[in-house]
Chain A
């Protein structure tokens, strides 16, 4: 999800850089009280933890493994302001020392992942917590939901920036559907990993979780560590939510097919944006042919759009794991 150099033009990159500096500056000021209290070591170590945890392979079921992005998890663990600072530090080191993410795209990456990813994840988790029983265990599903939503939200933010300053003319509606569809799938993995990691923290030290500071100290009357289990049921619920989100998004996209195209037409410069080869593809304009009702077929196209990448992704990881397994056996 790290944007490289050359995706966005220079004016947009400069503008996102300036905006990112302002946003991180705000986060630094808001986090200052906590940072003076705890010292710079704690956020620094949290950043190191996020960086290291991003390199861990998590098995997320069906033979697939995934990586943590960590925006929602960091927000839940250390609070949204410190989390923004922490993820910004991670991105800065990745761009400067690991060439991961372009230097001119640093502003873009900070806005999508350190600001949108963290803030959306935190707000969704806060909101979800309101509807859950007020105990430490509720932190886990709430933060998982934050993780689920934060990833496609960051993808959508990138799509918005691309609409402003993208260097290649891609129909924005199509880009948004593809980005959000694909990242909704990644979001399911993020939710599962976030839940599992946070579950382990809540089981031992629920008092460390920033998001749960207002909750009563858990584990006092019942005693014993709380165990959070995530099985097929969690996977099924995650999948269902993804399909629902993808359908809803493509419904919104298809009721007004391609907002930018519409604007372009009304402004009178939509000469080139017609007759793309994909017009003849079965998902052209996100309407599945053969379904009469445009709303139903639009939603169906969204579901197909979400399912296809899952199937392709599962197939690829399955093949990769088989190869890796064979290589490991050969090495032994």
Chain B
């Protein structure tokens, strides 16, 4: 079944795409946690971990341009990270014409690297996992059934509602030009909520009519085999190994 939010999925049929969603979710969370755990100044370790995630992008055969474009989500924190050298405490250093906090400079740079690796890992997850698989994976990971059901309705209707809001905007601009007041825009959004609510009631009626008894059908995500778990978890394991080896080398080097 084609799914609207599957617009995020970039199907290339790679081995990463074929892994069950639950193994990918766990692997991504663990690899990001390992990156966050890596202490500042361990640039070598962070670079190696970044390279591992990039290797997964390559293994997924995702187009680089699309991946780079999706990294744009990060833009707001880039600003924050760039501000950090100017607001953090501690001893200062001169950087060209300005005086900045050393801790802030280090922290800002570390934050930028870690957040980028985190976003990249999440982009890989979204680009290799369809919405339905993702829900099945979350169900397999024992997310409460009510929450899975709510998420599935959300994903099913988010594109519908966004398109309706888009059509309302086009209609408004066609009648009144581009300069609409707050009341006009909000009136459309408020009306959309009323319609959404009524649609929710109709969906519930339709479900009851078809025998819904308070339990959604199981999404039938298959159990993952030990081999699948092993191949998914090899990514966080490698990231952790890099971290441990890096720490050991620092220890030996003094």
Docked complex Cα distance between A96 and B119 (Å): 10
- Inter-subunit contact A4/B180 (CB<8 Å): no
Q: A45-B203, A59-B180, A96-B25 are in contact. Are A197 and B151 (CB under 8 A)?
A: no
* Binary flags per residue of A53-70, CB closer than 8 Å to B gives 1, else 0: 101111111000000100
Q: Say how far A100's CB is from chain B's closest CB, in angstroms.
A: 5
Q: Find the A residue at minimum CB distance from B72.
A: A99
Chain A CB within 8 A of B171 CB: no
Q: A85-B147, A199-B186 are in contact. Are A276 and B89 (CB under 8 A)?
A: yes
- Inter-subunit contact B119/A41 (CB<8 Å): no
In the bound complex, residues from chain B placing their C-beta under 8 Å from that of A45 are 153-154, 157, 161, 196-197, 199-200, 203
- Inter-subunit contact A38/B200 (CB<8 Å): yes
Q: Say whether chain A's binding surface is mostly helix, strand, loop, or mixed.
A: helix
Q: A104-B36, A174-B87 are in contact. Are A61 and B182 (CB under 8 A)?
A: yes
Docked complex Cα distance between A252 and B196 (Å): 43
Q: Find the A residue at minimum CB distance from B25.
A: A96
In the bound complex, residues from chain A placing their C-beta under 8 Å from that of B196 are 45-46, 48-49
Q: Which of A2, A56, A170, A272 contacts B87 (CB 8 A)?
A: A170
Q: How many residues of A contact B (CB 8 A)?
A: 83
Chain A CB within 8 A of B64 CB: no
> How many residue pairs between the two chains, A and B, have CB atoms under 8 Å in the bound complex?
280
- Inter-subunit contact A230/B183 (CB<8 Å): yes
In the bound complex, residues from chain B placing their C-beta under 8 Å from that of A199 are 183, 186, 190
Chain A CB within 8 A of B125 CB: yes
Q: A89-B150, A98-B126 are in contact. Are A4 and B161 (CB under 8 A)?
A: no
- Inter-subunit contact B154/A93 (CB<8 Å): yes
Q: A96-B122, A197-B190, A273-B89 are in contact. Are A5 and B162 (CB under 8 A)?
A: no
- Inter-subunit contact B32/A169 (CB<8 Å): no
Q: Which of B118, B161, B193 contacts A102 (CB 8 A)?
A: B118
Chain A CB within 8 A of B224 CB: no
Chain B CB within 8 A of A36 CB: yes
- Inter-subunit contact A104/B122 (CB<8 Å): no
- Inter-subunit contact B29/A103 (CB<8 Å): yes
Q: Find the A residue at minimum CB distance from B158.
A: A48
* Binary flags per residue of B55-95, CB closer than 8 Å to A gives 1, else 0: 00000000000000011011011000000101111111000
Chain A CB within 8 A of B235 CB: no
In the bound complex, residues from chain A placing their C-beta under 8 Å from that of B165 are 52-53, 55-56
Chain A CB within 8 A of B111 CB: yes
- Inter-subunit contact B151/A89 (CB<8 Å): yes
- Inter-subunit contact A6/B192 (CB<8 Å): no
In the bound complex, residues from chain B placing their C-beta under 8 Å from that of A6 are 35-36, 110-111, 113-115, 118
Docked complex Cα distance between A38 and B103 (Å): 52
- Inter-subunit contact A167/B158 (CB<8 Å): no
- Inter-subunit contact B35/A200 (CB<8 Å): no
Q: A45-B157, A89-B150, A178-B87 are in contact. Are A99 and B70 (CB under 8 A)?
A: yes
In the bound complex, residues from chain B placing their C-beta under 8 Å from that of A28 are 144, 146-147
- Inter-subunit contact A167/B194 (CB<8 Å): no
Q: Which chain A residues (272-290) contact chain B, with CB distance < 8 Å? A: 272-273, 275-278
- Inter-subunit contact B118/A200 (CB<8 Å): no
Q: Which of B101, B183, B207 contacts A229 (CB 8 A)?
A: B183
CB-defined A-B contacts under 8 Å, sample of 9:
A5-B35, A10-B36, A41-B200, A42-B203, A43-B150, A59-B185, A88-B147, A197-B189, A199-B190
Q: A46-B200, A175-B87, A277-B101 are in contact. List 11 more A-B contacts (CB 8 A).
A: A4-B74, A40-B153, A41-B203, A43-B150, A47-B158, A48-B196, A52-B162, A85-B146, A96-B122, A196-B187, A278-B87
Give 6 closest A-B pairs by Cβ, nearest first: A44-B153, A200-B190, A168-B107, A196-B186, A6-B114, A5-B118
Could you list which residues of chain A lie within 8 angstroms of chain B, going by C-beta atoms?
2, 4-7, 9-10, 13, 24-25, 28, 32, 35-36, 38-49, 51-53, 55-61, 68, 77, 85-86, 88-90, 92-93, 95-100, 102-104, 167-171, 174-175, 178, 192-193, 196-201, 203-205, 208, 229-230, 272-273, 275-278, 328
